[in-house]
Chains A and B, each alone.
Chain A
Amino acid sequence: MKSIAAKAVEIMKFKKVDFGDIRIIEERVQSISVKNMEISELKDDTTLGFGVRVLYNGGWGFASSNIMNMSEVEKVVNLAIDIAKSSSEHINKKVKLAFEPSYQDIWRTPYLKDPFSVPIEKKLEILFKVNEILLKGGKIKIANSKMDFVKTHKRYASTEGSDIEQILVYSGAGYNAVAIGQEVQTRSYPGGTLICFPWVMNI
C-alpha cells in the first residue's frame, strides 16, 4: 500500500497537478446468518482497489482500478490527470481548494478482540443458540439470527504531504422472530445497531 501511494503522489507532483490524492482501500466483510436452524448466509468477501483524484488547472479528474501494481498506478494517475485537463476546459469557474494542513497519522479502532480472529464455528454456535431460543415454544415459525463484521484498511496520501493510515473495525448482530397465523408479524432486536464483538457475545 505504502509504495503504491508514494508512487501515485510522485507522478502527480512530477506532472505539476494543483492537487492530487490517492485512497487505497482493502475491505473484508463477513456475513453469517442462520434461519430455522439452517445456515442461510455464510459470506467472507475481501475487496481491494484504489482511487485517484486530481485537480489540474482548476478541473477535477478521477480514475480507479483494482489492479495493484506500479504500471497500473501510472496508467490510472495519468487517466485521472487527462480527465482533469478535459474538465478544466469545460468549467465556468476554476476550482480552488481552501488551505488544509497536512497530516501524517495512523488510526486504529480500539477493540478488545478482533472479530475476525474468532472462529466461524464459535459465531455459528451463538447464532444457532439464538435460533433455538426463539423457536422454543413453537409459536415462532421463522427465526433469523445474523452477524456482520467489517474491517477496512485504508491508506490516504496527497500531494500536500498527508499520509494517513486507518484500520477500522466494526461489528453488528441481531435477530428477528416471525409469528404466522391469519397474518404475519415480525419482531426484531436490535434495529441494526453497530456493536463490538464482546457485545455480540452477550446478545
Chain B
Amino acid sequence: MEPLAVGSFFVFFGYMGFNALAYYENRSFASGNLGKKIFNDKLTIVEDPFALPYPVMPFDFEGMPRQRVVLVENGVLKNLVTDKKTAKLTGLKYTGHSLFEPNAVGAVPASLCIEGGKKSLKEIISETEYGILATEFHYTNPLKPKTLEITGMTRNGTYLIENGKIKKAVKNMRFTQSMVDAMNNIIDISSEREAYPEWGQVMLIPAIKVSNFNFSSTTEF
C-alpha cells in the first residue's frame, strides 16, 4: 500500500483509536490495551507536530501547546492523546489535543507520523514475489470501531507484482479488513514518507507492505 492508500484509513487510527475519549468509552482498540504489544514490532507511531514539513497549529482549541506523544513504539501501545476533559477522566497526561468545545468527539491527533523503515518502496516491490500494489484507496469507511475493520475501494492504479516486478494493472477491488490485524501483519515499511492531509490534520505516512490483506470483492473497471 502506497502512502495515499495507508493515509486514507490511518486517519481512523487517530479519530477512533488514539483518542482518549474512545479509549475511556471502551470503543477503541486501545481500551484495556495500554502498555501491551498489539501491533507488529516494525510499527512506531508518534504524534509529532514538529516533524511535519510545514507548520501546523502549535496549540489546541483549549490553548494548550500540542505535545509530542509517542503513541506506539515497536508495536507497543504507549500513550494516547488527550484534552483537558479526557485527561481528567482517564488520568492520562494532558497532551493538548482538544477540538473546539463543546464536542462529543474527544481528543484527536493533529500530526500522526508513522516512522519510516530502512528500505525504499522500490526495494520493497523488488523483494515481493507475488502481491498487489495499491496506490490509493477511496470510500474508506469503518465498520467495526474496536478492531478498526474498514472497507473501501482501490483507485487510480492497482497493480499485480510478480517476481519483484510490476507485471500488469488489475481491476479495482473492495477490501474489508481489520486494520489492527493488518498492522500486525506488516512485512516492511518504506523509508520515504508523504504528508497526507485529512480532516484538519496532517499525517506523515510511508508505504506499508502487509500479508493476508483481505480483498472482499471485485469490479468490472
Chain A contacts to B: CB under 8 angstroms: 33, 35, 38-42, 141-142, 144, 178, 180, 182-184
What are 23 inter-chain pairs, A to B, with CB distance below 8 A? A33-B104, A35-B104, A38-B102, A39-B102, A40-B102, A40-B103, A40-B104, A41-B102, A41-B103, A41-B104, A141-B25, A141-B26, A141-B27, A142-B25, A142-B27, A144-B104, A178-B27, A180-B25, A180-B26, A180-B27, A184-B144, A184-B145, A184-B146
A35 closest partner in B (C-beta): B104
Interface hits, B89-148 → A, CB 8 Å: 102-104, 144-147
B22 closest partner in A (C-beta): A184
Q: A42 contacts B146, CB within 8 Å?
A: no
Given A141-B25, A141-B26, A178-B27, decide whether A183 and B146 contact each other with a Cβ distance below 8 A. Answer: yes
What's the minimum C-beta distance from B135 to chain A, rounded to whole angstroms? Answer: 31
What's the minimum C-beta distance from B83 to chain A, rounded to whole angstroms? Answer: 13
- Residues of chain B contacted by A33 (CB below 8 angstroms): 104
- Residues of chain B contacted by A180 (CB below 8 angstroms): 25-27
- Residues of chain A contacted by B26 (CB below 8 angstroms): 141, 180
Q: How far is the CA of A182 from the CA of B32 in the complex (A)?
A: 12
What's the minimum C-beta distance from B30 to chain A, rounded to whole angstroms? Answer: 13
Chain B contacts to A: CB under 8 angstroms: 25-27, 102-104, 144-147
What's the minimum C-beta distance from A174 to chain B, rounded to whole angstroms? Answer: 14
The 7 closest A-B pairs by CB, nearest first: A40-B104, A35-B104, A184-B145, A184-B27, A180-B26, A40-B102, A180-B27
B interface SS class: loop
Q: How far is the CA of A172 from the CA of B144 in the complex (A)?
A: 27
What's the minimum C-beta distance from A3 to chain B, rounded to whole angstroms? Answer: 37
What's the minimum C-beta distance from A31 to chain B, rounded to whole angstroms? Answer: 11
- Residues of chain A contacted by B27 (CB below 8 angstroms): 141-142, 178, 180, 184
Q: How far is the CA of A184 from the CA of B26 in the complex (A)?
A: 9
Q: How far is the CA of A40 from the CA of B99 in the complex (A)?
A: 12
| New contact pairs (17) apart from A41-B104, A180-B25, A180-B27, CB-CB < 8 Å | A35-B104, A39-B102, A40-B102, A40-B103, A40-B104, A42-B102, A142-B25, A142-B27, A180-B26, A182-B146, A183-B144, A183-B145, A183-B146, A183-B147, A184-B27, A184-B144, A184-B146
Q: How far is the CA of A144 from the CA of B147 in the complex (A)?
A: 23
A182 closest partner in B (C-beta): B146
B101 closest partner in A (C-beta): A40
Q: How far is the CA of A118 from the CA of B8 in the complex (A)?
A: 42
- Residues of chain A contacted by B103 (CB below 8 angstroms): 40-41
Q: How far is the CA of A157 from the CA of B145 in the complex (A)?
A: 50
Which among A38, A141, A178, A183 has the highest number of chain B CB atoms within 10 Å? A183
- Residues of chain B contacted by A144 (CB below 8 angstroms): 104
- Residues of chain A contacted by B104 (CB below 8 angstroms): 33, 35, 40-41, 144
- Residues of chain B contacted by A141 (CB below 8 angstroms): 25-27
What's the minimum C-beta distance from B21 to chain A, rounded to whole angstroms? Answer: 10
What's the minimum C-beta distance from A181 to chain B, rounded to whole angstroms? Answer: 9
What's the minimum C-beta distance from B183 to chain A, rounded to whole angstroms? Answer: 18
A186 closest partner in B (C-beta): B145
Q: How far is the CA of A39 from the CA of B85 in the complex (A)?
A: 14
- Residues of chain B contacted by A40 (CB below 8 angstroms): 102-104
Q: How far is the CA of A41 from the CA of B103 in the complex (A)?
A: 6
Q: How far is the CA of A141 from the CA of B144 in the complex (A)?
A: 16
B16 closest partner in A (C-beta): A184
- Residues of chain A contacted by B102 (CB below 8 angstroms): 38-42
Q: How far is the CA of A147 from the CA of B26 in the complex (A)?
A: 26
